[in-house]
Each structure stands twice: as C-alpha cells, then as structure tokens.
C-alpha cells in the first residue's frame, strides 16, 4: 500500500489541482511531482513566474501558495507497482468534498491527467458542482510536446 501526501494549501485557495497518486520518484522524495522529467513545475513557473524552476520543494510550494493554488491527489492510498496510473488498484479516496467545504473560495478543479478525473468521477459522481477540467498529464509518460501541454494549462489563469 502506498500513500499520498497532505495537500499543498495556503489561505484562500482559488483552484484545486488534483493528480491521482504520486509516482515512485515523488514518493521517494516525499514531494509532489518530483520526477525530473515531469513538466508540472516547469508549467507552473512558466505560467506564474519569471523565475526558473528552483530545485528546492519549499520554493515550489511557495509559488502555489502565493498564487492561491491547492495541489492534492484524488487518492489517499492504493496498491500500485511502479508509477503508471493504469496500475492503480484498491484506491481509497482523499476527503475532497470536506476539503472543498473547508476552502469555499475554490472556483474550479483541474485534473492533472485523465485518470485522476476518472477516479474522481467514479468516487464522487456528480456530488461536486464546481467546474472541472481535464488537463494534459504533466507526466513524461504522456508524450505530447511541452508547448502543447503549456497551452492547455494556461486556462488555470482564468480562475486565479
């Protein structure tokens, strides 16, 4: 059994970005999106800052907090060999409805990849009425070009 991390969440988040479950590199380092080829932090810094992506996780988290972005995973725990979402078994969801109740300024949910949205919909159905958007996965396993991913991810700016 593997377990996710607590959310990155400061005061008054406006959007929630949900992954499915951290991959092996992230679990090893205990940091969201730690795999060197995962484009998440590069996308976020491209959209929200003029700075290059820092190596330290605290600076990365700070960018999210300063921009009122919460980051979490749909699953609290699951069984999975490796890092692929397709290998997830016996998932237990995080208490996302409660999280949204505790953070009423969240205006939209963005899913980092289709699998996180699929798990979310299967678990919570239509009980959450916020706008929801499936974004291209930032994982290196999803092989479209960085520029194409960045273009779609720009839509988060409409909710900040």
What interhelical angle do 146-153 and 40-48 show, nearest 10?
50
What would the two tokens of residue 132 be? 């929801």
Residue 123 has pLDDT above 80, yes or no: yes
Helix, strand, coil percentages (3-state) for the chain, rounded to 5, are 40, 20, 40
| CA distances for 92 relative to 1, 5, 16, 53, angstroms | 10, 13, 19, 32
Q: Which residues are catalytic?
A: 38
The CATH number of residue 12's host domain is 3.40.470.10
Helix ranges, 67-124 (H): 96-102, 114-124
Q: Is the pLDDT of residue 154 over 80?
A: yes
* Strand order across the 75-79 sheet: 2-3, 75-79, 89-93
Query: 78-106: per-residue pLDDT in tens?
Result: 999 888 777 889 999 999 999 999 999 99
pTM of the model: 0.95
Q: Which residue has the tokens 């960085």?
A: 146
pLDDT band at 24 (very low <50, low <70, confident <90, very high): very high
The number of distinct structural domains making up the chain is 1
Cα atoms found within 13 Å of the Cα of residue 86, Cβ hemisphere only: 2
CB of 41 within 8 A of CB of 33? yes
Range of the domain at 145: 2-159
Model confidence at 107, in pLDDT bands (50, 70, 90)? very high
């Amino acid at each position: 059994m593997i377990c996710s991390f607590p959310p990155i969440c400061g005061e008054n988040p406006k959007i929630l970005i949900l992954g499915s479950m951290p991959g092996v590199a992230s679990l090893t380092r205990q940091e969201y999106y730690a795999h060197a080829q995962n484009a998440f932090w590069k996308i976020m810094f491209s959209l929200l800052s003029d700075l290059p992506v820092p190596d330290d996780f605290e600076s990365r988290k700070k960018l999210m907090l300063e921009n009122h972005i919460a980051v979490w995973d749909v699953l609290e725990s699951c069984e999975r060999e490796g890092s692929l979402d397709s290998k997830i078994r016996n998932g237990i969801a995080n208490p996302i409805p409660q999280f949204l109740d505790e953070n009423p300024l969240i205006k939209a949910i963005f899913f980092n990849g289709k699998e996180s949205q699929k798990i979310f919909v299967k678990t919570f159905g239509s009980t959450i009425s916020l706008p929801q958007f499936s974004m291209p996965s930032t994982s290196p396993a999803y092989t479209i070009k960085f520029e194409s991913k960045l273009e779609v991810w720009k839509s988060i700016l409409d909710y900040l």
